[in-house]
Chain A
Amino acid sequence: MNDSVYVIIPVYNEAKVIRKVVQEVLDVFPNVVCVDDGSVDNSVNEISTTEAHLVKHPINLGQGGALQTGLDFALLNPKAQYFITFDADGQHDLEDVKRMLTELKKSEYDIILGSRFLEKHSSVKVPFKKRVLLRLALWFTLFTSGLELTDTHNGLRVFNRKAAEAIDITLSNMAHASEILTIIRQKKLKYKELPVTIHYSDYSMAKGQSMFNAINIIFDLMVKGRK
């Protein structure tokens, strides 16, 4: 019944965890698209051992670029109706994904966004430094896109074909999260946030965003705003 669902996982040097993450997703959703963004470790071989579709970037295009490639690939199949963006480091919860998908199917929403802050229910606490950074991102989003959200840089999203066709990520770095929100507003997609749990492991924390990148993101979006 999940044949029409495509899970898109951008992969960049995740050889340690990627196979386990992909296997777990494949148990629930048969269509997984792994977009390798020019990893220099063993990620590609690890993905090849699974049943996931593998799309390899010839050069590094950034996470946003990888998401767009995965979407382009998934959209080639006319049967694909639902799309999920999922992080490769295993910080997302498949139970959350199932809930979001059910919500999307029964409602008129085009896109369901995962949020770490919607409810106090999340079992794992978000580290303080991370919370400050994400709070700043919220104000910035409210200011630039006019969307009132509680968590703007969550990699977990579930959306329908209409939204998938509307999304056109041009920024190559992490600014794509804000770019998707801008697209939501411009294309008037119906959106909703659902609470999700993020499993912060030492592995995912080490891979997370630094404070400096927040400045990069703001700068990039301002330059893009000129268009």
Chain B
Amino acid sequence: MLIKFVLLLMVFIIAIYFMIAANHTRTEAWKKILFSIFVIFMVVATISPNITNSLANAVGVGRGADLLLYMLAVAFVFVVISIYIKFQEYEQRINKLARSIAVAEAEAREKQKITNY
């Protein structure tokens, strides 16, 4: 079963990548925990896909693949919103930075004018 090998390899790479990135940035603890659970789930679901099937049946969904799709849809929206908010925060920072540059430069120019008189 080549697909299992490929999927596990990808999960492994993603996990390593996250560890490195999380070390650099100050990722919040809950995000780390959430991600660890996610990785474990991915590994389990790859090794024995039947587990997702029984999980799906338990919540009233026909197939495990369908359940994954629904969860993916929700996760996607969540990610988009959090990126959007993050993006706005960065815009605010850039605004403040640009504003202080503009004011500082204007002040310097006015001082120059005065000394030229």
Contacts and interface: CB of A to CB of B under 8 A. Distances in A.
Report whether over half of chain A's contact residues are helix, strand or loop; otherwise say mixed.
mixed
A168 to B, nearest CB: 11
A72 B101 CA distance: 12
A68 B95 CA distance: 10
Interface stretch (A13-21, A54-62, A147-155, A192-200): A54-62
Interface of B: 88, 91-92, 94-95, 98-99, 101-103, 105-107, 109-110
Contact of A56 (B94, B95, B105, B110): B105
A61 B106 contact: no
Contacts of A29: none
B98 A56 contact: no
B109 A69 contact: no
Point out which of B91, B103, B109 has the most chain A C-beta atoms below 10 A from its C-beta: B103
A69 B110 CA distance: 16
Given A57-B98, A59-B98, A223 B88 contact: yes
A58 B103 contact: no
Given A170-B92, A172-B91, A223-B88, A54 B101 contact: no
Point out which of B88, B91, B102, B103 has the most chain A C-beta atoms below 10 A from its C-beta: B102
A35 B109 CA distance: 14
A53 B106 contact: yes
Nearest to B109: A54
Interface string A71-82: 011001000000
Contacts of A223: 88
A203 to B, nearest CB: 26
A73 B107 CA distance: 8
Contacts of B101: 58
